[in-house]
A = this chain, B = another copy of it.
């Protein structure tokens, strides 16, 4: 029987080149998290299914999770998202942890999906949350973090935009203006959520099945809002009581900040039927070939309810590596990946120089130089080609003659300059390779 060499459907083999790309993405996440004082956490790969049942929408539970019965008869699932886990963890410690506390994680997840552009079965997601801070301040900080992260990859305002809304406002529009009941509200939420994905005719039909003609006029006015200013005027004009919304204070901060250029109002952003209770946002790629959401998040208040714990306000967002990579790719923001990260290649031409070569490698590594040791004797005329193929900038050559004199030759592959240095003079070798750094 021959076994397939391919990875399981919807999963990726991360060969070194792809892995370095991934590290480029993750390193910036760690860096920005530190700049913003977010602390790392992680949870288990498996959770019991009841955790997801308690929290999630039905779609995720029914179709998308990788659930199974373990050998001890527990119904478990590979994590499809981080939120239930972070809620479970926060529930354990939130009482004694000084607020606000800021957490982030970069973890792998699985969802049973049809693999397609921007969507795979296994993916990694960055999750960033701040707990126990005022909603408008927390929302600003989270979006500041998010924009700083995308800017750290080289993204500019031509490439992405963050669209913001507030579910408190939506609820006020439904209650104070449209005066519809809970059942209709739920239906209308779903319509809003789909409004950009369906044709105008289909949208009109969906709306007319829920609202009266008079209500439709108001609702369409709402859907037509294009800016925070529009919203402010609309709220005033229609006598909507938005006292419980944090959006106005949030907009005040945004308007004075450097991330203003990335943030817009969008009445259609509601984040599905998810657990959000306040400000919500989605980040969209502006590129014509990749019009899709890169990340999304918002404010929530009742995440700990399923654990019988009190309210804990939080604001957070999640961003997957598959969509992020597509975004970076389409905007040419992925770095050129060098074949090797080594600073120097050590080669030897005679068997009796092997010991010297190994010792030198150890000593240079002890001085934090990145060394690739060529294992085994190599012919002199093959060294250059090897170093060029591997893109290693310096080569050390050890031959019998040099060995007798206690010397090695260090060569700069770019300038073709070379120098004989005492094999024991590690500092001098290091200086030649690194300059005066």
Q: Which residues of A pack against B, CB within 8 Å?
A: 1-5, 7-9, 11-16, 19-20, 22-23, 34-37, 39-48, 50-51, 54, 63, 66, 68-72, 74, 76, 78, 88-89, 91-93, 98, 100, 103, 108, 110, 112, 122, 133-134, 137-138, 140-141, 144, 148, 253, 256-258, 306-308, 340-342, 354-355, 358-359, 362, 365, 368-373, 375-376, 389-390
Contact = CB atoms under 8 A, between A and B. Distances in A.
A37 B148 contact: no
Contact of A11 (B44, B373, B390): B44
Contact of A8 (B36, B37, B47, B389): B47
Given A44-B122, A375-B138, A148 B5 contact: no
A12 B40 CA distance: 14
Given A40-B23, A72-B9, A376 B16 contact: no
Contacts of A42: 14, 19, 22
B373 A257 contact: no
Contacts of A358: 140, 144, 253, 256-257
A376 B137 contact: yes
A140 B11 CA distance: 34
Contacts of A22: 42
A91 B2 CA distance: 12
Nearest to A144: B362
B103 A71 contact: no
Given A14-B43, A44-B122, A134-B376, A365 B9 contact: no
Nearest to A102: B372
A8 B76 contact: yes
B370 A34 contact: yes
A44 B13 contact: yes
A388 to B, nearest CB: 12
